[in-house]
């Protein structure tokens, strides 16, 4: 390529470099680009560069006179020439031309916003296509618009969040109001329901005790069923009332120092009968038996009984339920764990376990009766104590509910106790009631009778073990050596008369007091029973007071109260 | 299309017909966005959907809406959002239209993923110019006519815009004669 290939005329050069100018060695203008001439008309051929422009020094903000020496010194650095009128800055590159010596300046206005272009009355087409000045300004403006859009978008989101928050807040207050109304309603209704129910229960009890005269077996059974249903209804109402009270913030704890072992034993006593019906092994394991806890004893027992009765309910026959207590000195809390070998709970169901009226499997609700409020109440009562509830479970293997109750000064409280020693006791009646309490074996194949008698004897401070046929009765006597036996006569496998005969045939049990119970009440029954070896005879329906009186009459002297 | 187009449709509707109509149009078009980002690319279907829904909700013809949208784009959206860029494009109607092809290409180069139409001009005279419009997007020639009308109003220059070639009638592109001054009378 020769030099001629690059020859372009002045007009073409001006199109390529519309803001260029050429000065001689004395800094006099020889030539200017078309657009520069338009926006700065006084800067024309023959004018002295320094009369119109000065060199702007970015580092000192100081204007300098433009000289050939200065141009030579700066070599490759860009020049910024400033003019006061018009207010124009040019960003330029200098080239030194020889023979004769001239200086060519190429560049364009130094503008940082499209607005500055407008002030100079410049339009896009005034810039050469190879000059990206305007493109950069447009990109800047585009970015500004993007920022503005993003701000608008953020503001829109904030507005939506604010609106939604306001809506939620309104909904929350409405919900709170509805909840309060619901709690008030429940509270009022529960009181209204309890009043007639008390009459039902009280009168059932009186009827059962024969206050209004003797009843036949069928009537007694019906009254027991009425009483049992009444008690269930009462527990449901009580739970509802408690939840409503807590929800309404009306439940106050009666905090007192309480003996933890006593609380545990009392709670176990209340589920013992249920457990025995299913042949469950009930165990109490305490790492410190002397620990005292400041809590509402009644409510804490309510928590434990709820958990224990659930454990018993959902553990199949022959399984085990353990109540453990541990002193966690580090977190200053007392930990109660109720562990069972029951049916377990699926992981996905654990979350809704503490919601009201949740029994996880509708099939289960048919198998296991319950209010569906127990765990909700447990959680609320534990939270009232400032504690927490956790649950671990595995389907088919069992569950463990852990209640943690804060206990300030726990370390001092357990000092001197059986710290570190785990005491395990199985809850046979001997462990629930004092060991010097008489132990009575009740043998009856009728569950309601069995339960009614057991309840009554418990209430009268008598320990009870149960058998459901004659064979089991004989086995239990040999196993537990009870103080006295209450023997029903009509039982499957082996009837009461045969069972009495078996026991009397054994020297070891020849003297054990046996009271025969029979619903036959036929002439000759009493004689047959006494002949078989019974010490006494009572016909069903038995008067409970009479029964206890008879029991005490036959108990060995050192075992009666 | 870039969000600026949808944003402009939104502004046109809310300014002239109210926010409720805009919400109804969005719902009909199945558009969920509350805010369009000007420099973000959106599917063409969104814009066509909004225009289509607008014809139903506002009870106007597509041509009426597209023409109004063209004018609105220049006189409101471009002037308010891109006023400085617009001002840099020319000092008068003639200059603007003459430089429009160059301006449009330079602006288009800023935006990645933009599939812009192409403008060309010919027969520039003191009072008229022929504008050529090439686009792969169908049905927007009325919008372009509205754009030219808006530009004429922007420069306070009464002008007449006549479409002389129609792509949807078999021509290879759309062509417009823009005349002003005596030529427009």
ipTM: 0.77
Query: Is A25 in contact with A68 (CB distance < 8 Å)?
Result: yes
CB contact under 8 A, A145 and B103: no
Chain B contact present for A95, CB below 8 A: no
Assess if residue A225 is contained within a domain. yes
Closest residue, chain B, to A136 (C-alpha) = B110
Of B35, B38, B99, the CB nearest to A125: B99
- The C-alpha angle A62, A63, A69, rounded to 5 degrees, equals 115
B113 touches A: beta carbon within 8 Å: no
User: Rounded to a whole number, what is the distance in Å from the CA of B85 to chain A's nearest CA?
Assistant: 7
> Which of the residues B26, B83, B88, B113 would you substitute to probe the A interface, choosing the one with the greatest number of A C-beta atoms within 10 Å?
B88
Domain-located, residue A156: no
B155 touches chain A (CB under 8 A): no
Give the domain-ending residue among A399, A427, A455: A427
A287: domain CATH number is 3.30.565.10
Is the CB of B88 less than 8 angstroms away from the CB of A152?
Answer: no
CA distance A277 to B155: 99
| pLDDT computed for residue B48 by the predictor | 92
Q: Distance between CA A503 and CA A528 in Å, rounded?
A: 16
Report the distance separating Cα B7 and Cα A258, nearest Å: 71
A229 at B interface, C-beta within 8 A: no
A349 is a domain residue: yes
Chain A residues with beta carbon closer than 8 angstroms to that of B99: 123-125
Residues A269, A355 within the same domain: yes
A146 touches chain B (CB under 8 A): yes
The region, left, alpha or beta by phi > 0 then psi within -120 to 50, assigned to residue A258 is beta
Radius of gyration of chain B (CA): 16
The answer to whether residues A451 and A396 belong to one domain is no
Is residue A138 a part of any domain in this protein?
A: no
Check whether residue A20 and residue A127 sit in a common domain. yes
Strand pairing report for A292-295 and A256-259: antiparallel
Burial of A480 (0-12, 13-18, 19+ CB in 10 A): middle
Q: Are residues A486 and A545 in the same domain?
A: yes
Pair A276, A204 in one domain = no
**Residue A219, domain extent:** 164-247
Q: What distance in Å separates the CA atoms of residue B80 and residue B73, rounded to the nearest whole number?
A: 10
Which pLDDT score is estimated for A43?
A: 93
User: Does one domain contain both A279 and A238?
Assistant: no
Write the CATH number for A212.
Answer: 1.10.287.130
* Residues A239 and A262 grouped into a single domain: no
Rounded-to-integer distance, Cα B129 and Cα A44, Å: 35
- Could A115 and B103 be called an inter-chain contact, meaning their C-beta atoms sit closer than 8 Å? no
pLDDT tens across B25-51, in order? 999 999 988 888 888 888 989 999 999
* Tens-binned pLDDT, residue by residue, of chain A (561 aa): 556 677 888 889 999 999 999 999 999 999 999 999 999 999 999 999 999 999 987 777 778 889 998 888 876 788 899 988 888 999 999 989 988 899 999 999 998 888 888 888 898 889 998 998 888 888 888 888 888 888 988 998 999 899 999 999 999 999 988 877 877 776 677 667 777 777 787 788 778 777 778 888 888 888 888 887 787 787 777 777 777 777 777 778 888 888 888 888 888 877 887 787 788 888 888 888 888 888 888 889 889 998 998 899 899 988 899 999 998 888 889 999 999 999 988 888 877 777 765 544 444 444 445 556 788 889 989 999 999 999 999 888 999 999 999 988 776 666 555 444 344 445 444 445 566 788 999 998 876 677 778 877 877 888 888 888 899 999 989 888 899 999 988 787 888 889 999 998 888 888 899 999 876 555 567 788 888 899 998 876 667 778 888 999 998 876 554
* Residue at A55 is within a domain: yes
Nearest CB to B89: which of A113, A124, A142?
A124
Shortest CA distance from A150: residue in chain B: B37
Please tell me the total count of domains within chain A.
4
Whether A280 and A426 have beta carbons less than 8 Å apart is answered as no
A512 and A376 in a single domain? The answer is no
Return residue ranges of chain B for CATH 3.90.1520.10.
Answer: 91-184
Give the alpha-carbon dihedral of A177, A182, A188, A189, to 10 degrees. 160
Q: Would you tell me how many other CB atoms lie within 10 Å of the CB of residue A2?
A: 6
Buried b (16+ CB within 10 A) or exposed e, A292-329: bbbbbbebbbbbbbbbbbbbbbbbeeebbbbbbbbbee
With a CB cutoff of 8 Å and minimum separation 6, the contacts of A280 are: A312, A315, A317, A318, A319, A320, A321
- CATH number where A479 lies: 3.40.50.2300
Last residue of a domain, one of A380, A402, A427: A427
3-state secondary structure A405-464: EECCCHHHHHCCCCCCCCEEEECCHHHHCCCCCCEEEEECCCHHHHHHHHHHHHHCCCEE
Instruction: Indicate the fold that domain B91-184 takes in CATH.
Output: H-NOX domain (3.90.1520)
Q: Do A142 and B111 touch (CB under 8 A)?
A: yes
Compute the nearest-CA separation of B83 from chain A (Å).
9
A368 in any annotated domain? yes
Q: Which residues of A touch B88 (CB under 8 A)?
A: 114, 117-118, 122-124, 134, 137-138
Averaged over B116-135, what is the pLDDT? Answer: 93
Which chain A residues touch B95 with a CB distance below 8 Å? Answer: 123, 125
Query: Which are the contacts of A498, defined by CB distance < 8 A and separation ≥ 6?
Result: A470
Q: Are A102 and A29 in contact (CB under 8 A)?
A: no
Position B100 pLDDT exceeds 50: yes
Cβ(A33)–Cβ(A19) below 8 Å: yes
B164 part of contact set with chain A, CB < 8 Å:
no
Interchain contact, B84 vs A121, CB within 8 Å: no
């Amino acid at each position: 390529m020769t030099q001629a290939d690059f020859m372009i005329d002045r007009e073409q050069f001006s199109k390529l470099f519309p803001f260029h100018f050429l000065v001689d060695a004395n800094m006099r203008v020889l030539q200017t680009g078309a657009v520069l001439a338009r926006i700065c008309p006084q800067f024309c051929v023959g004018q002295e560069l320094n009369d119109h422009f000065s060199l702007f020094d970015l580092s000192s903000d100081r204007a300098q006179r433009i000289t050939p020496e200065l141009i030579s010194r700066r070599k490759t650095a860009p020049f910024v020439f400033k003019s006061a009128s018009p207010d124009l800055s040019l960003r330029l590159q200098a080239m030194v031309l020889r023979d004769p010596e001239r200086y060519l300046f190429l560049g364009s206005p130094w503008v940082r916003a499209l607005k500055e272009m407008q002030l100079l009355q410049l339009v896009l087409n005034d810039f050469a296509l190879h000059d990206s000045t305007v493109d950069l300004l447009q990109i800047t403006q585009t970015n500004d618009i993007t920022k503005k859009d993003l701000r608008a978008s953020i503001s829109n989101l904030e507005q939506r969040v604010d609106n939604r928050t306001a809506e939620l807040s309104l909904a929350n207050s409405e919900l709170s109001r509805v909840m309060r109304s619901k709690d008030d309603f429940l509270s009022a209704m529960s009181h209204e329901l309890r009043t007639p129910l008390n009459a039902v229960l009280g009168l059932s009890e009186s009827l059962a005790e024969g206050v209004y005269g003797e009843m036949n077996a069928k009537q007694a059974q019906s009254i027991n069923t009425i009483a049992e249903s009444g008690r269930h209804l009462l527990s449901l109402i009580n739970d509802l009332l408690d939840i409503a009270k807590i929800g309404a913030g009306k439940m106050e704890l009666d905090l007192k120092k309480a003996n933890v072992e006593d609380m545990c034993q009392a709670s176990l006593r209340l589920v013992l009968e249920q457990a025995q019906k299913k042949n469950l092994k009930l165990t109490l394991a305490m790492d410190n038996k002397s620990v005292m806890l400041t809590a509402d004893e009644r409510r804490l027992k309510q928590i434990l009984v709820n958990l224990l009765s659930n454990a018993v309910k959902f553990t199949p026959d022959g399984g085990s339920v353990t109540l453990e207590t541990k002193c966690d000195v580090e977190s200053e809390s007392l930990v109660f764990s109720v562990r069972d070998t029951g049916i377990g709970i699926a992981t996905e169901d654990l979350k809704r376990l503490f919601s009201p009226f949740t029994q996880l499997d509708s099939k289960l609700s048919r198998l296991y009766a319950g209010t569906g409020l127990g765990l909700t109440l447990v959680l609320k009562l534990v939270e009232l104590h400032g504690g927490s509830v956790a649950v671990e479970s595995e389907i088919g293997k069992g569950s463990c509910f852990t209640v943690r109750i804060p206990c300030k000064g726990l370390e001092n409280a357990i000092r001197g106790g059986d710290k570190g020693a785990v005491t395990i006791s199985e809850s046979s009646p001997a462990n629930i009631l004092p060991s010097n309490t008489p132990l009575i074996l009740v043998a009856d194949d009728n569950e309601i009778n069995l339960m009614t008698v057991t309840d009554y004897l418990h209430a009268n401070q008598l320990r009870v073990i149960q058998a459901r046929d004659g064979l089991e009765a004989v086995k239990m006597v040999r196993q537990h050596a009870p103080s006295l036996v209450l023997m029903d006569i009509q039982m499957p496998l082996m009837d009461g008369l045969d069972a009495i005969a078996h026991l009397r045939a054994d020297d070891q049990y020849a003297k054990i007091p046996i009271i025969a119970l029979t619903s036959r009440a036929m002439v000759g029954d009493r004689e047959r029973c006494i002949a078989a070896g019974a010490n006494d005879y009572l016909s069903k329906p038995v008067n409970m007071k009479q029964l206890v009186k008879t029991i005490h009459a036959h108990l060995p002297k050192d075992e009666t109260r | 299309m870039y969000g600026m187009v949808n944003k402009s449709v939104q502004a046109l509707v809310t300014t002239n017909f109210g926010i409720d109509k805009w919400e109804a149009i969005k719902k009909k078009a199945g558009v969920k966005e509350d805010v369009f980002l000007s420099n973000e690319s959106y599917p063409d279907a969104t814009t066509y959907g909004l225009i289509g829904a607008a014809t139903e909700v506002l009870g106007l013809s597509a041509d009426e809406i597209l023409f109004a949208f063209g004018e609105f784009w220049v006189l409101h959206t471009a002037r308010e959002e891109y006023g400085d860029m617009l001002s840099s494009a020319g000092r008068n109607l003639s200059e603007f239209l003459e430089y429009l092809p160059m301006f449009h290409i330079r602006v288009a180069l800023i935006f990645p993923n933009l599939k812009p139409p192409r403008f060309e001009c010919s027969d520039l005279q003191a009072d008229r110019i022929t504008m050529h419009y090439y686009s792969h997007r169908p049905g927007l020639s009325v919008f372009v006519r509205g754009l030219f009308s808006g530009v004429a109003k922007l420069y306070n220059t009464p002008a007449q815009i006549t479409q002389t070639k129609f792509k949807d009638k078999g021509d290879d592109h759309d062509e417009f004669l823009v005349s002003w001054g005596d030529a427009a009378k």
